[in-house]
Structure 1
């Protein structure tokens, strides 16, 4: 079943050759994508701060990834929202004139920053996914089967839909292609706005949020998100969104959220791209969002205690 506003990936009837893919960083989702691509016959390289050979285990198979070698033709950028701009700036000198870049992260707000960095002939995409992955020592665990939605963000991307979509279907499929990513980003933002902050602040697994003591707070957070999304032109119905969030909590009950893991490992969080984005957009429309504002402040204060 595919989400409204999207369509399944078509079978390959194009003579266009497969793109040569590289993955930025060695995060869990990126290595999951790289592993699935390699098992399908691709040879993805890893773009790292310091070039290195990376050995991992995936599905009990040993895999090895070499460093990316410029020029870079196609790049998946599954880094934290706050690292996206710098990642693309670093990649710029090494991209081909028709390079295809795929952003994938939690939260919103990076697309307007990144688009001006690219040439008119370079394509930009966004992929939003519900897959879960966890890195444990030298192993990648696929902790949650999900699906993904991919959308082109400029005209140069639209000219390479078949090749990009088919690679991303292998990497993080099943995949649907949409003309507009914004509705899907708002839907995922609503999920992230609940699960990430609350699990980080209460240091718990996702499933703990199904307990009765959290239900009123979840309802209040989502009511604010729906108000802001609707004002931005992407209407969300609070009851349906809450039902969706609770289904995700149940489906991922044994998982730890990415923000909870960031706090545990004393890393910078994506607070400003999730709760902070909601607060910033609410200010544009003069909408009060006290619950999301409080979450943003609590998370930033928590982060300040260990990020100095």
Structure 2
């Protein structure tokens, strides 16, 4: 079965990347990993339902024509720049990270015969000591960022639908990016500051703060020409809190091990965009100040 599918490569061994790699391999796709240390990787994969499985992944020396880059926001451009000399003509490059991406800059770092995509996902996964656990069912939104990507949709759609579907392809990913930004802005900094799992944010003590954070994101979105309804967005935040209750956010995990966070692409983006429009965002500003040393 694997031979019927194109080869694909996934960068790194973060939770979403390993979730995608595991789902692809189990569905018969040929998938390898681009790692800092190019050694084969054996992981234990725990799906939402059913028993766990041990999976083996080869380390690639040259990325395949289908390339998924699910890295931290600050690493996306350096990673693309590092890999660019190794990429084939016709490579389809899919980037995914938390926070608001700089799509224009990413577009400038691909050639005219390479497809560039951005994917926003609500699938939830967590690294374990030996692998990855799929911790929350979600979906993904994918957008082509250039003409070469558009012409390659029949090749890319089944790949990513298998990896992180159900998949929706859209001509305009901005609404999905703003919705995801609001969710990240509400959950990630608070869990990082208080050292709690996502589910703890359902407590009454956090509701006023969550509403203030999300309300400010909606105001900033409106200033950027994006309609983000407050009640609907708050409901989405609560749904994610419930669906990922046992999860520890990536920002909290980064803080705990002294790793750089994605705060600049999440809360920092909100604070800086608000400043451009002369808007006050005190709830987000307080989060930024509390965690600025991690950005």
Q: TM-score range by the shorter chain?
A: over 0.9
1:1-308 → structure 2 map (5 Å cutoff): 18-59=5-46, 60-70=52-62, 72-301=64-293, 303=294
State the TM-score, normalized to the length of structure 2.
0.94
> In structure 1, how many angstroms separate the alpha carbons of the residues matched to 2:70 and 2:240?
21
Give 1:112 deviation, angstroms.
2.1
Q: What's the CA shift string for 1:194-242, capped at 9, x where partnerless?
A: 0000000000011111111111111111111001111111111111111
> In structure 2, how many angstroms separate the alpha carbons of the residues matched to 1:91 and 1:52?
17
> In structure 2, how many angstroms separate the alpha carbons of the residues matched to 1:298 and 1:213?
18
Check the 8 A contact 2:5/2:28 in 1, yes or no: no
> In structure 2, how many angstroms separate the alpha carbons of the residues matched to 1:274 and 1:130?
16
Give 1:18 deviation, angstroms.
4.7
Check the 8 A contact 1:32/1:133 in 2, yes or no: yes
> In structure 1, how many angstroms separate the alpha carbons of the residues matched to 2:157 and 2:271?
33
Give 1:71 deviation, angstroms.
5.5
> In structure 1, how many angstroms separate the alpha carbons of the residues matched to 2:126 and 2:243?
16
State the TM-score, normalized to the length of structure 1.
0.90
Give 1:116 deviation, angstroms.
0.4
> Please, which runs of 5 or more residues in structure 2 have no aligned partner?
47-51
Q: Which residue of 2 aligns with 1:3?
A: none
Q: What's the CA shift string for 1:166-204, capped at 9, x where partnerless?
A: 100000111111111111000010000000000000000
Runs of 4+ in 1 over 4 A off after TM superposition: none
> In structure 2, how many angstroms separate the alpha carbons of the residues matched to 1:286 and 1:122?
39
Question: Number of aligned pairs?
Answer: 287
Q: Which residue of 1 aligns with 2:49?
A: none
> In structure 2, how many angstroms separate the alpha carbons of the residues matched to 1:224 and 1:71?
41
Output the aligned Cα RMSD: 1.4
Give 1:70 deviation, angstroms.
2.0
Q: What's the CA shift string for 1:136-163, capped at 9, x where partnerless?
A: 1222211111111111111111011111
> In structure 2, how many angstroms separate the alpha carbons of the residues matched to 1:256 and 1:110?
26
> In structure 1, how many angstroms separate the alpha carbons of the residues matched to 2:6 and 2:147?
18
